[in-house]
Amino acid sequence: MERLRGRLSKSRSALGQGLLGLLGAGDLDEDSWQDVEDTLLLADLGAATTTEIVERLRTEMATRAVRTSADARALLREVLIDTLGADTDRAVRALPHTGPEGRKQPAVVLVAGVNGTGKTTTTGKLARVLVAQGRQVLLGAADTFRAAAAEQLQTWSERVGAEVVRGKEGADPASVAFDAVKRGIDSGVDAVLVDTAGRLHTKTGLMDELGKVKRVVEKQAEVDEVLLVLDATTGQNGLAQARVFSEVVDVTGIALTKLDGTAKGGIVFQVQRELGVPVKLVGLGEGPDDLAPFEPSAFVDALLD
Ligand code: GDP
């Protein structure tokens, strides 16, 4: 909790403290409501989510007769947690299960996203989390377009104690993904995490690459999770990327990276509200332990405390 709070310090001062300062004064005039709206917009909550939150706060402030800053904090906490949808299932599906032929099948997780968002780093960090839970993990380096990606994943594999399957540079990403999953099944690991290629020039191009990776993997195993990695600092651009990916594959969860060092942590709310896919993981730094499961109440508390 302390750690999350520390990593979110920029968003905490811009968003959390900003809102608490405005609402804690009680009895807000139109200018102050405008300031509330601006604070939400500046933190990247987006127009629709901002309007929704402001309307709810206005109604509740009036009906509940919020007087003290403690009342304001409790109300804000409730509204923000509700906006994130506390009930959504956010567990990453990384447990082995019985496959189509009645054999134990490793959980298969495809990690997708545009280059630079933190895809390879997130794959490595997720492996670390699973290995720390006592699971055997195999990494598939199917991002064969970015020259350094396989090398980077190899380094992660050594760091976290997970085997890695690599293809030659420029090899077909789908064939590397297929080989990785095959090796995972044959060696009986618990989870195979596949770092996929992150080129997004056209929707058709993406469909050819990522869609093919998924189809080819599905020839031998179920895909349990398609995690889309989004960079929190890219705002609307990130949301646009997510929409394109969702049209191509069934995205089951979002990993939102680089929340440390940005005052625009409000993007979490927008992603959650507008994409209809749960945020499952948050990236809070470049280190191996800087990936956390996303928990709405802990996140909101870190913003407000
Ligand atoms: P990819 O091209 O999407 O595979 O991106 P990389 O995994 O290579 O990451 C791009 C850069 O972002 C690297 O310098 C990472 O260390 C950095 N990065 C990834 N996740 C985070 C994060 O949560 N916080 C911060 N501050 N940097 C991150």
pLDDT recorded at residue 101: 74
276, 302 in Cβ contact below 8 A? Answer: no
What's the average model confidence in pLDDT over 166-178?
89
Q: What angle do CA 18, 23, 29 make, to 5 degrees?
A: 110
- DSSP assigned state of 109: E
pLDDT recorded at residue 208: 75
Q: Which residues fall within 8 angstroms of residue 187, CB to CB, at 6 or more apart?
A: 138, 163
- Asked whether residue 49 is marked as a ligand-binding residue, the answer is no
- Asked whether residue 259 is marked as a ligand-binding residue, the answer is yes
Q: Which residue has the tokens 């670390």?
A: 128
Residue identifier of the C-alpha nearest atom 19 of ligand 1: 118
Does residue 117 line the site of ligand 1, with CB under 6 A? yes
Residue identifier of the C-alpha nearest atom 9 of ligand 1: 118
Q: How many whole angstroms separate alpha carbon 69 and alpha carbon 55?
A: 19
Residue identifier of the C-alpha nearest atom 26 of ligand 1: 285
**Pocket test residue of 157, 286, 291 for ligand 1, highest count of atoms within 8 A of CB:** 286
Residue 129, pLDDT above cutoff 70: yes
Confidence tier at 298 by pLDDT (50, 70, 90): very high
What is the CA(72)–ligand 1 centre distance, in A? 36
pLDDT recorded at residue 201: 65
* Mean pLDDT, the chain, whole residue set: 93
ipTM of predicted complex: 0.99
* Neighbour-count burial for 267-301, b at 16+ CB within 10 Å, e otherwise: bbbbbbbebebbbbbbbbbeebebbbebbbeebbb
What is the CA(26)–ligand 1 centre distance, in A? 41
Tell me how crowded residue 70 is: count the other CB atoms within 10 A of its CB. Answer: 10
Residue 270 belongs to what H/E stretch? Answer: helix 267-275
